[in-house]
Amino acid sequence: MSCFSCFSSHEKKSSNKKTNGNGNRRVQSETALDTQTGAPQHNDFNKQKNSPENGNSKDASDKLGKGNIAAQTFTFRELAAATKNFRQECLLGEGGFGRVYKGRLENGNQLAAIKQLDRNGLQGNKEFLVEVLMLSLLHHQNLVNLIGYCADGDQRLLVYEYMSLGSLEDHLLDLAPNQKPLNWFTRMKIATGAAKGLEYLHDKANPPVIYRDLKSSNILLDEEFNPKLSDFGLAKLGPVGDKTHVSSRVMGTYGYCAPEYARTGQLTLKSDVYSFGVVLLELITGRRAIDTTRKTDEQNLVTWAQPFFKDPSKYPAMADPLLEGDFPVRGLNQAVAVAAMCLQEESAVRPLMSDVVTALSFLAITPETEGNPAPPNVCSSPSTDKMSFDEKDKQDDDSSQERERAVAEAIEWGSNHKRSQGGSGLSI
């Protein structure tokens, strides 16, 4: 998973805050799209007669609502005025797509994040077209809202709702001096919301959508720390019918890609589940997916975590030191168990996102919330710490079964809690 010697592009994306140079590497070998995820049919786009995107537009629009784009169209002049002619003072961040600016739209009442395509950047027209298509047709409280776009001449810009607190990365991994770290329940609230966004893409979208670029910098936060997934330029339609996967050139961000996808280019919904496991592990530990400033054996977060996964008694040692021990041990044990299940090497045994949502549903509930029963207790085996070296294989099997049991208990508890609150089915 950690060996991508042929990929060397380096970038960091942040939609609402300027980057500090300590970014992630985007894994990209060629263009993001093939004939399965093309562009919507639209007059502005069809002017590009020689563009390879146009050959795919009919296929994609047939699969996703005939390409009816509800997003508003803007002129370049309107967006230049909204950003004070793209002044430096309005710059929020910069990434593979280009620069992101804070702007006030012409009506004067709506703030927006305006992303301008860098024609020499890592992403291009195809990613632009896919993002317009996806966000015009997919709507959920945990997906960022696309207000509109601009396709004037060779200018390509996207206009999103403004997310006032920036990205999860800004509050978890890039803390400024004296910045207060996220508490445990806020972290679990963010994890649950991000999981619900993925669940919508996997289970409610038809055909299903593979997000393909889940990472902390792509999870944006509103003023109440409600998370929304952003940046859908790499999104791809998932397998339908009797197909088990879609084939794709390897795309994504180093440290978050599922190992089987990195090896074979075969993309499934479980590829997103793995990436979610990495983000959940970041929330638990406060560590980056890849951190070259650490010792060699600690640079890859998943590799560092594997020994802890085998011994549930050591789960609390994984907690972010900035939490200063202020977290429910049972809740942390459950979160680590869910992360471990998502990060299974074999994709088939990873849970569905619907199961992850159910398992996480109680973790964001604060103790002050009235009328909520205690979450299930997740204890290590009494004999775990006394295992001899000769019993290591049995210990590995037992810890794996214990993780599965913990997740099953959490799912059952989450389902019971929803029924007790008058809900039915999964939270969407």
Tell me if 196 is assigned to a ligand binding site.
no
Helix H segments across 265-342? Answer: 269-285, 301-309, 329-342
As a whole number of angstroms, the distance between CA 105 and CA 120 comes to 27
DSSP annotation of 319 reads: S
Query: Among 305, 291, 288, 297, which Cα is nearest to 339's?
Result: 305
User: Of the listed 174, 213, 272, 311, which one is catalytic?
Assistant: 213
Query: Can you point out the beta strands (E) in 166-218?
Result: 209-210
Question: Cα–Cα distances in Å, from 358 out to 20, 28, 206, 266, 301?
Answer: 36, 33, 21, 27, 25
Query: Among 12, 299, 16, 20, which Cα is nearest to 176's?
Result: 20
Helix (H) or strand (E) holding 158: strand 157-161
As a whole number of angstroms, the distance between CA 32 and CA 39 comes to 12
Whole-angstrom Cα Rg for the chain: 22
Q: What letter represents residue 123's amino acid? A: Q
Q: CB within 8 A of 229, min separation 6: which ones?
A: 142, 143, 144, 194, 197, 198, 211, 214, 218, 219, 220
Angle between helices 329-342 and 353-360 (to 10 degrees): 170
Q: Is 390 helix (H, G, I), strand (E, B) or coil?
A: helix
Using the structure block, give the residue that is written with the tokens 């795919």: 56
Q: Is 398 a catalytic residue?
A: no
Query: Among 289, 293, 286, 306, which Cα is nearest to 396's?
Result: 306
Provide the CA 7 distance to its chain's centre, in angstroms.
Answer: 21
Per the structure block, which two tokens stand in for 331? 């809740």
Which residues have a catalytic role annotated?
Answer: 213
Q: Give the residue numbers of the binding site.
A: 115
